[in-house]
Amino acid sequence: MRYNGCVKETGKETYKMDKELLLYEIRKNGMTAEKVSQAIGISKSAFSKKINGKSEFTLSEIQAIVNVLGLESPMAIFFAAKVS
């Protein structure tokens, strides 16, 4: 598995994080990026880099985001947008 910014490559499949959907879920839950970053234990600047594809979220950070935002699954945000 390889990451290139916010694009994840696994074998022949390539996925891209859906930044807009993540930001929508944050707003929908009455939170800010800063509050989410604090809740998952990273700095606001680190969270910003991850959202903007300059760094990748770890699996534990993804799970923490799912828990904080009450999401059923991380798939739509982190793994579903297939890039051709």
Average pLDDT over residues 4-16: 57
Q: Is residue 7 part of a domain?
A: no
Q: Confirm if 61 and 9 have CB atoms less than 8 A apart.
A: no
Output the pLDDT for position 82. Answer: 64
Q: Round to whole Å and give the CA distance between 66 and 81.
A: 17
User: 56-77: per-residue pLDDT in tens?
Assistant: 899 999 999 999 999 999 998 9
CATH for 36:
1.10.260.40
Residue range of the domain that includes 28: 19-75
Q: What pTM was computed for the model?
A: 0.79
Digit-coded pLDDT (tens) for 17-58: 899 999 999 999 999 999 999 999 999 999 999 999 899 899
Q: Total structural domains in the chain?
A: 1
Contact 61, 40 (CB under 8 A): yes
Who wins on pLDDT, 84 or 35?
35
